[in-house]
């Protein structure tokens, strides 16, 4: 009986201790980072144009630029931690990183585990086309020929909202869809902004300008739950970078397009 | 294996399948008529060495028979717009099929023409028939009749090959299959149904070609 009681209290103490430790680790990431002079930021290394490994073997991309800008605004040294899309959230929740800037989209499941800042990068499916066609809504695509990759999210979503007299041409893969646009076989394409950016970077035959969004899933900075101070600071910095136009420059550099006004 | 077959999910799209079948047959019909027309011209030019057409057709035949149909189609659809020739998916598909069948049928019909006995032509010439009369009445009908089974096979091959036109968004039967499969994710059922449809179409087209051969050529022979 006594022995049992002792064991129980031992386990309880151990549990409390661990909880206390992890609480301590999370206590105030901003204060800890300021004390260390370094902020640890998880970035992608396998997802162009958000994060890739450059010719100098250093990570580069949209997310790395944003990480460095945030570090500069916080007056902290940035420690870049390359992560993959599967382990980016565990890196944050286990305290190996203070922030995740890794083209992270928001969804209810993720919101249970971590907090999100304001959006810092556009990520969407939409209708793209040349600058001289004025199109603002799905209704404006009436009478137009729109190329799309068969079975893709944008195919399913655009097919629902397309006006009856819009001609949808469905191609086998992104490459055929883009070729059809570049060779003038379709007037518009439905695709992702990252695909459009890659095309605009590589060819100047026919530009892909954003006309309207079909499905929007912008990127947010991930912060651990309970880090109100850090979250507020990140939001403040992202807001400042948007206002100063520096985030727009990052968008121009990596996505070949200005930052959407409503981001 | 716990897969439950659901053919109803394919039959929901029977409109698309029907429309695709009509388009496939239309492509085949137009391709056959013009393709065989080119084939006859090419065969005469080559068999009777009508300079310079014999050389032109020789290059054409080698070019088309030694390159894949899909590449020819992509060249016409995606490539030619760079030269200012913008063809929509149907024009591109028809052009590719006509060019393709034209090249193969040139060689098939040429073999028939070359098998015409010299004596038959000389006999016709000795009756004071003009060269074109000799060709139209003495050479071509028996030549076509001899090679008609090969032509029937080639037309069926071209019809089955038209499935490739789905790649440039021409909404024929294979496009319908791919479209349905991308919506209901029932690959087995969809392609099973479409395979059966192609099989029946091929038999029907072959029968139609055999009938056409008997009506058009055999009768004119008298």
Choose among A55, A153, A173, A38: nearest CA to A105: A153
Cα separation of A105 and A194, whole Å?
A: 14
Partner residue opposite B182 with nearest CB, options A151, A183, A185: A151
pLDDT for A262 equals 82
Sketch the domain layout of chain A as residue ranges. 7-123+219-255, 124-216
Q: Residue B134: what are its φ and ψ, rounded to 5°?
A: -55, -45
Q: Is the pLDDT of residue A19 over 70?
A: no
- Residues of chain A in contact with residue B183, where contact means CB-CB under 8 angstroms, are 151
* Residue B145, CA distances (Å) to A259, B77, B108 in order: 69, 35, 11
**B151 shares contact with chain A (CB less than 8 Å):** no
**A150 shares contact with chain B (CB less than 8 Å):** yes
Residues in chain B, overall count: 222
Return residues 94-133 of A near B (CB < 8 Å): none
pLDDT for A20 equals 46
Q: What is the pLDDT of residues B57-77, one digit of tens each?
A: 999 999 999 999 999 999 999
Name the H helices within B48-88.
Answer: 53-65, 69-74
- Residues of chain B in contact with residue A176, where contact means CB-CB under 8 angstroms, are 78, 167-168
Interface test mutation site (partner B, options A144, A153, A172, max chain B beta carbons within 10 A): A172
**A151 shares contact with chain B (CB less than 8 Å):** yes
Partner residue opposite B179 with nearest CB, options A150, A176, A179: A150
Q: Is the pLDDT of residue B222 over 60?
A: no
pLDDT > 70: percent of chain B: 98
Residue A12 or A214, more confident: A214
Q: Is the pLDDT of residue A22 over 60?
A: no
- Residues of chain A in contact with residue B79, where contact means CB-CB under 8 angstroms, are 183
Angle subtended at Cα A190 by Cα A147 and Cα A217, rounded to the nearest 5 degrees: 165
CATH number of A124-216: 3.40.190.10
Answer yes or no: do A185 and B175 touch at CB < 8 A.
Answer: no
Q: Is the pLDDT of residue B86 over 60?
A: yes
Question: How far does the CA of residue A139 sit from the closest CA of chain B (Å)?
Answer: 23
pLDDT for B217 equals 80
Q: Domains in chain B and their CATH numbers?
A: 9-221 (1.10.3720.10)
Q: What is the DSSP string of B8-48?
A: HHHHTTHHHHHHHHHHHHHHHHHHHHHHHHHHHHHHHHHHT
Element at A163 (helix H, strand E)? none
User: What is the SS3 assignment for A209?
Assistant: strand
Minimum CA–CA partner of A159 in chain B: B183
- Residues of chain B in contact with residue A155, where contact means CB-CB under 8 angstroms, are 182
What average pLDDT does this structure show over A172-192?
Answer: 94
pLDDT for B60 equals 98
Minimum CA–CA partner of B177 in chain A: A150
Cα separation of B202 and B148, whole Å?
A: 16
Answer yes or no: do B77 and A185 touch at CB < 8 A.
Answer: yes
Q: How confident is the model at residue A23 (pLDDT cuts 50, 70, 90)?
A: very low
Tokens of B186: 């029932």
Size of interface A-B (CB pairs under 8 A): 41
Answer yes or no: do A185 and B78 touch at CB < 8 A.
Answer: yes
pLDDT > 90: percent of chain B: 91
Q: How many CB atoms lie within 10 A of CB A255?
A: 23
Q: What is the pLDDT of residues B200-218, one digit of tens each?
A: 999 999 999 999 998 888 7
In this predicted complex, what is the ipTM? 0.81
Q: Is the pLDDT of residue B38 over 90?
A: yes
Least confident of A11-25, A213-227, A231-245: A11-25
Q: What is the pLDDT of residues B172-181, one digit of tens each?
A: 999 999 999 9
What average pLDDT does this structure show over A101-120?
Answer: 94
Interface test mutation site (partner A, options B88, B164, B169, B181, max chain A beta carbons within 10 A): B169
- Residues of chain A in contact with residue B77, where contact means CB-CB under 8 angstroms, are 180, 183, 185
Pairing relationship of beta strands A77-83 and A52-53 according to DSSP bridges? unpaired
CA B160 remoteness from chain centre: 9
Partner residue opposite B169 with nearest CB, options A169, A183, A184: A169
Q: Is the pLDDT of residue B111 over 90?
A: yes
Residue A76 or A261, more confident: A76
CATH number of A7-123+219-255: 3.40.190.10
Partner residue opposite B86 with nearest CB, options A172, A176, A184: A184
- Residues of chain B in contact with residue A183, where contact means CB-CB under 8 angstroms, are 77-79, 81-82
Q: What are B5-14's contacts with CB under 8 Å, separation 24+? A: B5/B188, B5/B189, B6/B186, B6/B189, B7/B189, B7/B193, B9/B184, B9/B186, B9/B189, B10/B180, B10/B184, B10/B186, B10/B189, B10/B190, B10/B193, B11/B193, B12/B184, B13/B176, B13/B179, B13/B180, B13/B183, B13/B184
What pTM does this model have?
0.79
**A184 shares contact with chain B (CB less than 8 Å):** yes
Partner residue opposite B178 with nearest CB, options A147, A150, A169: A150
Answer yes or no: do B182 and A171 touch at CB < 8 A.
Answer: no
Q: What is the pLDDT of residues A136-174, one digit of tens each?
A: 999 999 999 999 999 999 999 999 999 999 999 999 999
Tokens of A27: 């206590």
**A175 shares contact with chain B (CB less than 8 Å):** no
Q: What is the pLDDT of residues A249-258, one digit of tens each?
A: 999 999 999 9
Mean pLDDT for chain A overall: 89
CATH fold match for the domains A7-123+219-255 and A124-216: yes
Mean pLDDT for chain B overall: 94
pLDDT for A68 equals 96
- Residues of chain B in contact with residue A185, where contact means CB-CB under 8 angstroms, are 77-78, 81, 86, 88-89, 168
pLDDT for A263 equals 82
Q: How many CB atoms lie within 10 A of CB B219?
A: 9
What average pLDDT does this structure show over A172-183?
Answer: 93
Answer yes or no: do B82 and A151 touch at CB < 8 A.
Answer: no
Cα separation of A103 and A84, whole Å?
A: 11
Partner residue opposite B78 with nearest CB, options A155, A170, A179: A179
What average pLDDT does this structure show over A116-124?
Answer: 96
Q: Which residues contact A20 (CB under 8 A, 6 or more apart)?
A: none
């Amino acid at each position: 009986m006594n022995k049992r009681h002792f064991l129980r209290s031992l386990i309880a103490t151990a549990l409390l201790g661990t909880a206390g430790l992890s609480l301590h680790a999370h206590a105030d990431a901003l204060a800890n980072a300021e004390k260390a002079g370094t902020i640890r930021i998880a970035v992608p290394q396998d997802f162009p144009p958000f994060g890739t490994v450059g010719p100098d073997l250093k990570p580069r991309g949209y997310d790395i630029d944003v990480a460095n800008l945030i570090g500069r605004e916080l007056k902290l040294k940035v420690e870049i931690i390359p992560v993959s899309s599967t382990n980016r959230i565990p890196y944050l929740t286990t305290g190996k990183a203070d922030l995740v800037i890794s083209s992270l989209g928001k969804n209810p499941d993720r919101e249970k585990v971590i907090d999100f800042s304001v959006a810092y990068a556009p990520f969407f499916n939409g209708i793209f086309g040349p600058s001289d066609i004025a199109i603002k809504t799905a209704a404006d695509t009436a009478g137009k020929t729109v190329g799309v990759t068969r079975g893709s999210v944008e195919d399913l979503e655009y097919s629902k909202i397309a006006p009856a007299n819009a001609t949808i041409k469905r191609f086998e893969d992104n490459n055929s869809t883009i070729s059809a646009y570049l060779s003038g076989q379709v007037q518009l394409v439905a695709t992702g902004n990252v695909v459009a950016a890659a095309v605009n970077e590589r060819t100047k035959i026919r530009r892909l300008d954003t006309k309207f969004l079909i499905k929007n899933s912008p990127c947010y900075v991930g912060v651990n739950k309970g880090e109100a101070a850090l979250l507020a600071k990140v939001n403040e910095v992202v807001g400042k970078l948007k206002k100063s136009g520096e985030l727009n420059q990052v968008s121009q550099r990596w996505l070949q397009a200005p930052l959407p006004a409503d981001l | 294996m716990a897969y439950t077959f659901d053919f109803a999910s394919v039959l929901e799209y029977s409109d698309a399948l029907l429309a695709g079948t009509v388009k496939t047959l239309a492509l085949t019909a137009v391709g056959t008529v013009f393709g065989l027309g080119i084939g006859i011209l090419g065969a005469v030019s080559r068999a009777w060495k009508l300079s310079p057409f014999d050389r032109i057709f020789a290059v054409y035949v080698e070019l088309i028979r030694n390159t894949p149909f899909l590449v020819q189609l992509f060249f016409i659809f995606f490539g030619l717009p760079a030269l200012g020739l913008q063809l929509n998916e149907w024009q591109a598909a028809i052009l590719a099929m006509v060019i393709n069948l034209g090249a193969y049928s040139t060689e098939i019909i040429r073999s028939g023409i070359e098998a015409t006995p010299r004596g038959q032509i000389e006999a016709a010439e000795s009756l004071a028939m003009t060269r074109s009369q000799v060709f139209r009445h003495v050479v071509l009908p028996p030549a076509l009749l001899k090679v008609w089974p090969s032509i029937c096979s080639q037309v069926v091959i071209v019809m089955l090959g038209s499935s490739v036109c789905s790649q440039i968004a021409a909404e024929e039967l294979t496009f319908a299959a791919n479209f349905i499969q991308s919506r209901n994710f029932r690959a087995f059922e969809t392609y099973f149904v479409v395979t059966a449809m192609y099989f029946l179409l091929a038999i029907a087209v072959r029968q139609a070609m055999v009938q056409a051969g008997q009506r058009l050529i055999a009768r004119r022979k008298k």
